[in-house]
Structure 1
Amino acid sequence: MDSKFSHAVLKLLKTLNSVTIAEALERGCQPFYVDNRQFGLIRPDFFNHLREYENIFDVIGENKEDKINEKKPGVHLSSEYKTYSERTSAINSMLKDLREKNVIQALTGWRDENYRMSQRFTDDPVLEIERAGAGLFGFLQYGVHVNGYTREQNGDIWMWIARRSKTKQTFPDMYDNMCAGGLAANLGILECVKKECKEEASVSDEILGKLKFVGTISYFYEDERGLFPECQFVFDLVLPADFKPLNADGEVGSFQKCSVAEVKKLMTEENFKPNCAAVCLDFLIRHGHLNPDTDPNVSFYIEQLHSPLQTYYTR
């Protein structure tokens, strides 16, 4: 067993699964509800800012009279906002106000890109939220990731690894999958993944015809920006031997073609965006480069790559 690699992977998975619902509630995080259904979790630091917006949010459970209220204890979006557009407007107007006040670090990474919010991916969404604010509410977020690789005549696999631009709002100058991006509110999954491939690596329509959906990874982590339960839709893309990715949107600083051994080495150097390293880990397992005979932790890796997010807020 490669003990250095295994240690790095265990550390990575601990980072990606750094929080649970039970732990968050124990230290004072508040459930967030729309129509008395839980859609997220709010940390105490952000909760203190929400108190300024009593016309938008109702806090249930702090007063004795709340005991007769049918609403569950926690933070509720006001029932005055009944439609998708009304809820979206209320949430984003509040975030814009906080952004102007410059009191929330996460909002300095404003994207002008909305995410849809639902309990499960198959559910109708209840609102849209500016991407930079989704973690403040602990909303379930989705994205797409592409493993771009070539297979040599001798069977060896080489992966294209991106290095993020030094000006990216999040995780600047860190290693990344060849193409990846958040699932914006106005896009379907395949539409999103093709868009990211064209913008980040100039992949042609002909090559994109070989995209293969291979599953998902999911995890729940926390950082200074908030709480992040995330699910990534993962695709493999076999590339021609002479293909060279070319960035077209300024979000990638460079690309490098790596052997499996080189990818594993990069994953031990702590300069890999954590969820992107996890997508590479999933790739290595699926393609037989890790197995339980050579690394007895493989079954644990697989378990930790598939946190059951869609049950978190619906139990």
Structure 2
Amino acid sequence: MPIKILILGSTGTLGKELVDLFNGDKKYSVTTWSHKDIDVTDILLLNQKIKELSPEYILNTVAYNSVDDCEDDEVEYAKAILLNKDVPEAIAKISKELGITFVHYSTDYVFGKNEKIEGGFSEDIIPIPNCKYAVSKYLGEEAVKNFSEKFYIIRLSRLFSKQRGVTGKKSFFEVMLHLSHSQKSLNVVDDEISCFTYAPDLAKATKSLIEDKCNYGIYHLINEGEESWYQGLRLLFKIIAHDTEINPIHGNAILRNAKRPAFSVLKNTKRPVLHPLKEALKDFVSSNDFIDLK
């Protein structure tokens, strides 16, 4: 019998990659739910549908990620708490009840106030978030840990690939490429250091995590390397021989409601290292999806 897997947020950037990957493997019977299929904030309905389906795995890519909107707006922050904490908590509880393995995705932003550690933050470091978005994601992590028995919390950072689906956001690289067509130069933040994560690589790493039957817990699955936004974009432009000028600037030169971590590098100590950002960008560039962006 195929392994039954449920993917939530199936029309987003990561969700689409997961759907394509698991659908391509006959070992799995994949059910996909997007916002068109279910309102995940209707907890009673969510529980009912999960019980009816009774999957072996739930992969939750649903999240509120409007970082600045929820910082000073209580209504938006309530939405962040609902999607980033309450929904994962509900899934964790029903997963425990039914013996389902729950895969939940989180963010490097949870390390907003942590003192810099050379080489980055390993999975066992206790996060100290510094903005409301990060707080909502951290509370979601804690809910999954407290209410699940079989769970994987996967932290990622700066997700990118070609925008996919109606709910997939344009990645940083896509936004910058589009801007470069109309601007002679771009100002890009150079004092916020983290890692980038190529969505196809993350999907493959997620599948390997499941298939290798790894110990439950927290994992950092990111492409190898530590870069600022400026360094990442400079690397891409070098690969494609793009001649738009890039100017490094300080993060505080941009008006943003929420504080960003100055250093939020994730250190992967548990799993095989995903290939370096340069190689991930080359894959991105060589893919057919990139043609319309160049």
* TM-score normalized by the length of structure 1: 0.26
More strand by share: 1
More helix by share: 2
* TM-score normalized by the length of structure 2: 0.28
